[in-house]
Amino acid sequence: MTSPPPPKFPTRTRAPGSRNGMGSKCVFWQISPGKGRGVFAYHALHKGLLVLVDPVFIFKTADLPPTALDDYRMAWTDEEDCIALGLTNLINHSDDPNVVITDDIPGCVKRVTVVKHIAEGTELLAKYRCPIWWEKT
């Protein structure tokens, strides 16, 4: 007897309707071939839609020595970095992005906004604001 195929979309990690990124009604995470984890659209997303608002853990850039968390470190201010506590950290890079990640310094959150139409099931991609440290395929 073979096991049934996986569901089209994975189960949400938080209750539907919660206000943080982990419970977004717009997006979900799954494996992105050749990239590891990625964030995908549950349904079509229109330009200008705010899809994620994730709180951040802020720390002085010099205070965190190199660790396994480096792949998730994001710039915050000139002297601080942060790690987003939600799906924002799983958004992969593209030179042709369909979302933009912005900082809300007073609110201590990262915001993800659609910059071009995204079809259902399509991966959300952002242009990273740092040098690319991996070999592009």
Residue 7 located in a structural domain: no
> Is the pLDDT assigned to residue 135 strictly greater than 90?
no
Name the least confident of 13-17, 60-64, 82-86: 13-17
CATH number at residue 28: 2.170.270.10
Asked if the structure places residue 12 within a domain, the reply is: no
In a domain, 4, yes or no: no
Q: What is the Cα–Cα distance from 66 to 88, expressed in whole angstroms?
A: 21
Q: Which amino acid is present at 11?
A: T
Q: Provide the pLDDT for residue 66.
A: 79
What pLDDT, on a 0 to 100 scale, did the predictor assign at position 12?
39
The number of folded domains in the chain is: 1
9, 28 in Cβ contact below 8 A? Answer: yes
Query: In which band, very low, low, confident or very high, does the pLDDT at 57 lie, cut at 50, 70 and 90?
Result: very high
- Mind listing the pLDDT tens digit for each residue in 69-104? 787 888 899 999 999 999 999 999 999 999 999 999
Question: Is position 54 within any domain?
Answer: yes
Nearest to 125 by CA among 102, 100, 104: 100
Q: Provide the mean pLDDT of the chain.
A: 81
Q: CA 67, 71, 72: angle at the middle one, nearest 5?
A: 100
Cα 15 to the center of its chain, rounded Å: 19
Does any domain span residue 41?
A: yes
2 or 129, which is more confident: 129
Domain containing 49 equals: 23-126
Residue 112 above 60 pLDDT?
Answer: yes
Residue 131, token pair as written in the block: 């040098």
- pLDDT beyond 70 at 133: no
Q: Does the pLDDT of residue 49 top 50, yes or no?
A: yes
